[in-house]
Structure formats: structure tokens, C-alpha cells
Amino acid sequence: MITALGLNYQTCWENLKNGQSGVKKITLFDPEDNETRIAAQLPDGFEEYARGYYTRRLKQQMTRVTRMAYVCAINAVNNSRIDFNMFDPLRVGVILGIVDTGYNSLEQEESEDNRILKSMNNAPCALLSIKYKIEGPCFPVSTACSSSGYAIGLGYDLIDNNRCDAVIVGGADSTLSPEQVRGFNELYALSVNNPEPEKASCPFSRERDGFVIGEGAGMLILESEESALKRNAEIYGEIAGYAMTTEAYNLLSPKKDGEGMVRTMELAVKNAGMTVNDIDYINAHGTSTFLNDLCETMAIKALFKERAYSIPVTSSKSMIGHTIGAAGAIESIITALSIKEGILTPTINLEFNDPELDLDYVPCKARKQVINTGLSNSFAFGGHNVSIVIKKAFRNL
Amino acid sequence: MKKITENTRAEVKDIIFDFLADACEIEKSELNEDMKIIEELGGDSLMFLSMLEIFKKKYNLNVELKAIGKYILKHPAETIGEIIDATLVIIEYENRIVDM
């Protein structure tokens, strides 16, 4: 993964465990005319770091989002040590959550060349298929904040239905441009805590006043158990099941009392062949908006009943902001690493309790805890919900 | 019909090598005519169009893209040498390449 907390998953993970905030004043453009002037922007060295991954010519055909997706996916492939030449290319796929490629005013100021290539939503998937000679299913998914969660679900299905042996899944996003920040401000969706950037993203806190935009990418290599064992792969976790639902209710607000969220989590647990008693960690959508955090808390209480109070619920967005189309993938990776290492990353900035939000949000400091099964939630504008059940890899049991 | 000489070939080759060395970030001295542009140099199909624009200006060519498209369909060009040869045919015959 690539986030405001680091350009590779190892750095991100260390900083997440340390409870660091990646939020600061926006420097990608002059934000003085925007109501919100803070974000969890990638570290300054990203473009220089990424330069080694493509030719200058290819860079000229990419947006920042495409570059993030490309670099992150190559890192994931390298980390997994998978060799796609050993696979039937028709049985390997790429599914990425890409809301859009971010061909925004900043990109256009830099250059208007290659306009179509830069704005093609499928470009990140296509470029990876070209790089790795992948010839199976290859497409982007666009369901706003749940895009990459959907991508993981669809990749899982391709393997579960024996259509693919391996699938690159994930997502990338950067909604940092003056017009996109303005657009979210019009919806009263963003925090305006400009004076204290590192405290602005405070999911489940009484002080929460909106989400903080995050840039990021998260990529996973999904493969069948048989394939992973055959090549002696390091297995980070096992996707046990998932559910995707639509609320059919409102473009912005979740359904009353989090009803749609309950249904999504319930179906995911059922799809995994488990009961709610098997879930011992929830990586929440936890955006730091008034409605999401309230509804998600109500949904967890409705589904898990009394157990809700003893299940740790964390929000990674407190540190890396809301990475929109990449959030589902990044948070699934964090869920898998939490299970693998037995460490819960904290929900930082939770200093002032909201009386209605009274679950165990793992406030401020990481916690060591043995976890066997986690649930990663993504609930999007438009009512596109997804919950993914991730359990400890069979080999790590 | 333009007359193609050894000098023309050398000139076209030089321009194509310069272009590919720059676009693919490879030393010009490392290039040879047997190299496959997409498979070995990581190039793309747009490169040929970019090079074509250079030659259209340099040789004041009157040639339509669809004529070139039809020609390339019948005479695929993958290596640098094949691209040089195709370019020379385009320079020599312009729109009449469609009949070849």
C-alpha cells in the first residue's frame, strides 16, 4: 500500500501501529481559496520514488492516480514473488477500484497531451495487463468509497468460481484538486479543522466534523489456496467471504439506523460460512462524518448485540484520511496485517467521547490482541456497501 | 513519387533511432534494427504516429492516416528495421501506398 504514512506497506504499517497522523496542509496546490485546506497527501517524495517504475513517455500518458496504482501494484507483485509467467495468462485477472483517474485541473495545467489516455478509467488495469501479459478478466470498478472493496469481492468470486487462478485486486485514488475539494465542501462532507490538521480526522469522536481526503493505493494478490501452496507463497490472510449490497435509498446518507450496513455485514458473515460470534475485529468504514460513524455504530450494535461492546472497532482513516476508491483495499490490507501480527492499529484523535458512540474503538494507542477473523467495511456515497471477512491464513493458524 | 537514396535511409534511420532512444530511455548505441519496439523496448503503438508526424513535416508528405493504416495491416511492422522500411515506402509513395 501507498498512503500519506509511507510509500510502501512496511513503512505505512509501522506508522499505523505508532498511531501517526498523515494529515497536513495541502501542498499539491495552493488551497487558500478552499474552505478545507488539509489532507492526507502522499509524502513529497512520491513522484521521485515512482520515477524508476516507468519511462518518461509512459509517465506522460498517466495521471497521478494511474501512477499510484501502477507503482503500488508492481510493489505488491514483487512482495508476493508471484511469477505470472508460470500461470495460464487467460486465468489471471486485474480488477481495480478506480473512481476516476483524476484528470483534473492540476493535471491539465501540467499538460493537455494524451487527454484520452489519461482520463481512461480502465488505463491502470490495462497498463498492468500489458506489463504482466495478463489476458484474463481485466476491468475497473467504480462505486465511490467502496470501489476497491468491490474489486476484492469480484476477484474473490473469479477464483472461487474457478475462472481464475490469480487476480491483482485493489484500487487507487487522489481527489486532491481545488475543484474536488470545493465539491466535497459543497456537500459539507469535509473537516474544516485547518488549524490542527493532525487532529482533524477523528472518527467516532464528539469533535468529528467531516472526513479528511486521503491519497493512496492498495493492492493485493489474490490466488487460490492451491496456487499459493504450490509456489510456497507468503500468505497474509484468507478471504473467507464478502457481501456487496445497495441501499437504494439516498446518494449521500446511509439508511436510517444503519439498516443497510447491518444487512451487508450480516450477509458477508453468512457468505463466509460463519456466525457473528466468529468475528473478533472490525476495521470500520469510520469516516469521521457525523452520520457514518453514528449509523455504523448503530449497525454494529444491531448485528452483534451484547458482543458489540467487546469487539474492537478501529478506523484507519483517523491516520490516513479517506482514500475513497482505494479505501476498501488499503483497509483490507490493514485488517489482514492486524490479524497476522496480532496488533490492532489505533483510532487516533479519539479524545472526546460521543455518548452515543460507545464501542471499543481502540482509542489513540495500538493494542496487542490475538485475532482470528476480521471484518472490513466500506460504505459508499450512492449506497454501495461492501463488507469483507478476512481470517487468519490456514498456514498461520 | 520521391526518390529514395541510401542517404534517405540513413536519415530516416537516424531520426527513428533518436526518437526511440529518447522515448524508451535507452542509449542510441544499444539499439539495432532487429529489436521489437513494443515487446523489447516497451514502446507503444502511438510512437509510430508520433514519428510519422515528424516525417510528414520533414518531407512535406501528402499521406492520410487511413492509407497508412491499410498498408500496415497488409505489411505489419514490429521491429525497428521494419518501421524504417515502412517509413521509406510511405515517403516514396505517399497516399499511393494503399495500392501496394
Shared domain check, A147 and A242: no
A395 confidence band (pLDDT: 50, 70, 90) = low
Cα first-last separation, chain B: 14
pLDDT at B37 over 60: yes
List, by residue number, the catalytic residues of A: 145, 285, 322
Nearest C-alpha in B relative to A56: B23
Q: What is the rounded average pLDDT of the residues A201-214?
A: 98
CA distance B48 to B64: 14
Shared domain check, A242 and A224: no
A88 occurs within a structural domain: yes
With an 8 Å Cβ cutoff, are B24 and A58 in contact?
A: no
Question: Which pLDDT tens digit goes with each residue over A276-293?
Answer: 999 999 999 999 999 999
Shared domain check, A256 and A337: yes
Shared domain check, A181 and A305: no
Residues of B with CB below 8 A from A61's CB? 44
Shared domain check, A192 and A143: yes
CA distance A318 to B12: 58
A113 confidence band (pLDDT: 50, 70, 90) = very high
A396 confidence band (pLDDT: 50, 70, 90) = low
In terms of Cα–Cα distance, which of A314, A377, A390 is closest to A346?
A314
What domain count does chain A have?
2
Q: Identify the CATH number of the domain in which residue A305 sits.
A: 3.40.47.10
- Counting other chains too, the contacts that A306-309 makes at CB distance below 8 Å and 24 or more residues apart are A307/A276, A307/A277, A308/A359, A309/A358, A309/A359, A309/A360
B91 confidence band (pLDDT: 50, 70, 90) = very high
Residue A219 has which C-alpha cell?
Answer: 493492492
So what's the pLDDT on residue B45?
86
So what's the pLDDT on residue B3?
86
Find the domain containing A192 and state its range. 9-230
The residue type at B61: L
| Domain end residue (candidates: A178, A205, A230) | A230
Shared domain check, A387 and A245: yes
| Domain end residue (candidates: A197, A230, A263) | A230
Q: CB burial class (10 A; 0-12, 13-18, 19+) of residue A53?
A: middle
A57 touches chain B (CB under 8 A): yes
Shared domain check, A256 and A173: no
| Chain B nearest CA to A57, separation (Å) | 6
What is the helix (H) or strand (E) element at residue A282, kind and residue range? strand A281-283
Dihedral sign from CA coordinates of A274, A278, A283, A287: positive
A179, A213, A72, A66 alpha-carbon torsion, rounded to 10°: -10
- Top residue of A54, A55, A130, A132 to mutate, by most chain B CBs within 10 Å, is A55
ipTM of predicted assembly, 2 dp:
0.78
Report the percent of chain A where pLDDT is more than 70. Answer: 99
Shared domain check, A179 and A275: no
Cβ pairs bridging A and B (under 8 Å) = 14
DSSP for residue A31:
G
Give the Cβ contact number of residue A158 at 10 Å: 22
Report A:60-119 residues touching B (Cβ under 8 A): 61
Shared domain check, A162 and A280: no
A2 occurs within a structural domain: no
| Planar angle of CA A263, A292, A209, nearest 5 degrees | 175
